Structure 1
Amino acid sequence: MPSVSDNPMPALRSHLQRDGFGFVDATAMRVLLEQAHTLDDWAAFAASWNQLAPDPYLASLGRHRRRRHAVFSAAPTGAIQRKPHQPHYQSLQYNVLQGDIERWFEPVLPEIADSISLRAILEFSRDFFGSLAPSVRSWHIELHQFRIEARPDEPGQPTPEGVHRDGVDYVLVLLVDRQNIVSGTTTIHSADGTQLGSFTLTTPLDAALVDDNRVFHGVTAVTPQDPGLPSHRDVLVVTLRKAG
């Protein structure tokens, strides 16, 4: 299982180039993120997951997911700009449950979009993935705040569409919080379904990075560790696609 903890940037780049994915533990990920900005406002950033809105597109499936969404644009250098609020769209090729529809989610709150922690995450994503695709001059970046809730009689489904690709170029999945849950293991697969690796995000800032053109990914269902207590898994997903 590829894992990165020491000398994180070269090792992670090597993993992505060789395997199409990499897992980063929280200690290494903090080093990578704080190359841009210190995460001084992380506590407030993480607390914003308590203000997510229900995902109305999954209500009929009985799954408990809350989220917010935002879109940004980025050149190889310079400021990363938030774009006007817009729907999230995937074709049926990439999302068999909810493809070919425009899904409008509540927007990421302005103070979170402007936070130091998010700026560090966006700049790292742009710079790191940009180093793997130096010919790209403009990135379309989508940001998804997710909370998956688990109940005793109903496991939470981080990826209800199953093992999939997102239809983008690169994906960062960053753990923000994990309370009273079991499992939630990220798995990476080849096109024929062969599992290439797995990693459970357990500590805030644990991360998975994926070359979406090369591999598929999924996350196993989460269940409560103590059925009598609330259970959730909070993640930030950042996707990058060549603009245009």
Structure 2
Amino acid sequence: MTPPLDRPALQARLHRDGFAFVTAEHMRQLLPMPEMDDWPAFRASWNDLAPDTYLAAVGRHRSRRHATFAIEPDGTLQRQPHQPHWQSARYNSLQGDIQRWFLPIRPALAGGASMRSILQFAHALFAPMAAGVPHHWHVETHQFRIEARADEPGEPTPEGVHHDGVDYVLVLLIDRQNIESGTTTIHADDGALLGSFTLAHPLDAAMVIDARVSHGVTAVTPIDPAQPAHRDVLVVTFRATPPAATSPA
């Protein structure tokens, strides 16, 4: 068994490199797995996603659900009313500057132990790193399934190597079936490759400081073209927001 990886060591790695790959073994040490009693249902919920119709027009096969949360400086977590996902064209040349509505993550899962534990872990990791900015967070969670077909590879990042336009990103592998490749690549502003790794086992994770590095994932192809093939991930983004304005007394 590899030595434990604690949160301060992971924060130091992120500070140093701008990104980190964390194995499933270490994520099981960092997450409160015994408390995540809905994990089987959480993992199975990737079978209940809806097609991403914004990509269907260009022949790319991705399914997803989406939910938004607010996290206060003290860690208080609250799901927000369902709302569209929006990215500037500066960060997403394929689908930027449009409001994209996706089916919401089901309430039992969005409010369940697994999601809550993942978001609390991410907040405890990222919030102390954001010195000098208000620690109120706009958090978006995305369930993604990328399908690979015999005649068409699946594209986890159809927009290519990119920034997300947030402060921090966590990508957690939920499942991968009958696929090869899907290598995450990390790049400097000049395009230089800083690192690469493959999320191969459930709970393998990637974390990035979005302003410092860009990231992409290579296309996935089926090992057995006659069988279904997919890559399931949960993507969590953190963006610092100013505290709500208060009216003068």
TM-score normalised by the shorter chain: which range applies?
Answer: over 0.9
- State the distance in 2 between where 1:22 and 1:162 align: 20
Q: Does structure 2 conserve the Cα–Cα contact (< 8 Å) formed by 1:67 and 1:106?
A: yes
Q: Does structure 1 conserve the Cα–Cα contact (< 8 Å) formed by 2:75 and 2:120?
A: no
Q: CA RMSD in A?
A: 1.3
Partner of 1:149: 147
Counterparts of 1:211-222 in structure 2, within 5 Å, are: 211-222=209-220
Change (3 A) 1:114 1:5: farther
Q: 2:126 aligns with which of 111, 120, 129?
A: 129
- State the distance in 2 between where 1:182 and 1:5 align: 28
Deviations 1:171-211 (A, max 9, x none): 00000000000000111000110010111001110000000
TM-score by length of 2: 0.93
The Cα of 1:71 is off from its aligned counterpart by: 0.4
- Larger CA deviation: 135-144 vs 55-64: 135-144
Unaligned runs of 5+ in 2: 243-249
The aligned amino acid for 1:59 is A
The aligned amino acid for 1:165 is H
1:109 has 2:106 as partner: yes
Q: Does structure 1 conserve the Cα–Cα contact (< 8 Å) formed by 2:85 and 2:101?
A: yes
SS of alignment partner, residue 151 of structure 2: coil
Q: Does structure 2 conserve the Cα–Cα contact (< 8 Å) formed by 1:5 and 1:24?
A: no
- State the distance in 2 between where 1:127 and 1:11 align: 13
Q: Does structure 1 conserve the Cα–Cα contact (< 8 Å) formed by 2:143 and 2:232?
A: yes
Counterparts of 1:50-199 in structure 2, within 5 Å, are: 50-134=47-131, 135-199=133-197
Aligned-pair identity in percent equals: 63
Deviations 1:34-53 (A, max 9, x none): 18x62222111000000000
Change (3 A) 1:31 1:106: same
- Larger CA deviation: 69-78 vs 211-220: 69-78
- State the distance in 1 between where 2:26 and 2:236 align: 18
- State the distance in 2 between where 1:78 and 1:182 align: 38
Partner of 1:33: 31
Number of equivalences: 240
SS of alignment partner, residue 61 of structure 1: coil
Change (3 A) 1:153 1:5: farther
- Larger CA deviation: 77-86 vs 92-101: 77-86
- State the distance in 2 between where 1:38 and 1:197 align: 33
Change (3 A) 1:31 1:20: same
Q: 1:19 aligns with which of 9, 17, 20?
A: 17
SS of alignment partner, residue 197 of structure 2: strand
Q: 1:203 aligns with which of 201, 204, 228?
A: 201
- Larger CA deviation: 91-100 vs 5-14: 5-14
- State the distance in 1 between where 2:128 and 2:103 align: 32
Deviations 1:33-81 (A, max 9, x none): 118x622221110000000000010011101000000100001224300
Q: Which runs of 4+ in 1 moved over 3 A?
A: none
- State the distance in 2 between where 1:79 and 1:63 align: 37
The Cα of 1:5 is off from its aligned counterpart by: 5.9
Q: Does structure 1 conserve the Cα–Cα contact (< 8 Å) formed by 2:75 and 2:123?
A: no
The aligned amino acid for 2:155 is Q
SS of alignment partner, residue 66 of structure 1: strand
Partner of 1:242: 240
